[in-house]
């Protein structure tokens, strides 16, 4: 299985801050990388697919980049509704695997 490692595991930030979360795959996955946002008690929500494609309806302050083994999710200016847990997932090969999650908390 391909291992996905996110960093940091948690981060504290303020409204208006720029935040970057990284995700590293244990082997190359081209651009087959998805980012999800999960709020407590809710299902994950797809934000970014194919490493950098913004899902319809997702605010443009979210962006993704990377290919191969190293990827990033950037939130350009944090809003109150962005405090949540973020997961990356490789969609290159079966079984799809998720990172352990990054919890974004209010400072």
Q: By the criterion CB under 8 A, which residues form the site for other proteins? A: 1, 32, 34, 36, 42-46, 49-50, 55, 87, 89, 91-92, 94-101
**Smallest distance from the beta carbon of 12 to other proteins, in angstroms?**
19
Nearer to other proteins, 17 or 30 (CB): 30
**Smallest distance from the beta carbon of 43 to other proteins, in angstroms?**
4
Nearer to other proteins, 19 or 34 (CB): 34
**Smallest distance from the beta carbon of 107 to other proteins, in angstroms?**
23
The full 3-state SS of the chain, as one line of letters, equals CCCEEEECCEEEECCCCCEEEEEEECCCCCCCEEEEEECCCCCCEEEEECCCEECCCCCCCEEEEEECCEEEEEECCCCHHHCCEEEEEECCCCCCEECCCEEEEEC
């Amino acid at each position: 299985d391909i291992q996905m490692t996110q960093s940091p595991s948690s981060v504290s930030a303020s409204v208006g801050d720029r935040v970057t979360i990284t995700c590293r795959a244990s082997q190359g996955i081209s651009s087959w990388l998805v980012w999800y946002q999960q709020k407590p008690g809710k299902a994950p929500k797809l934000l970014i697919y194919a490493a950098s494609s913004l899902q319809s309806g997702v605010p443009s302050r979210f962006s993704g980049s990377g290919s191969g083994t190293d990827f990033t999710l950037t939130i350009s200016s944090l809003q109150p509704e962005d405090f949540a847990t973020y997961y990356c997932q490789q969609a290159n090969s079966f079984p799809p695997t998720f990172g352990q999650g990054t919890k974004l908390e209010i400072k």
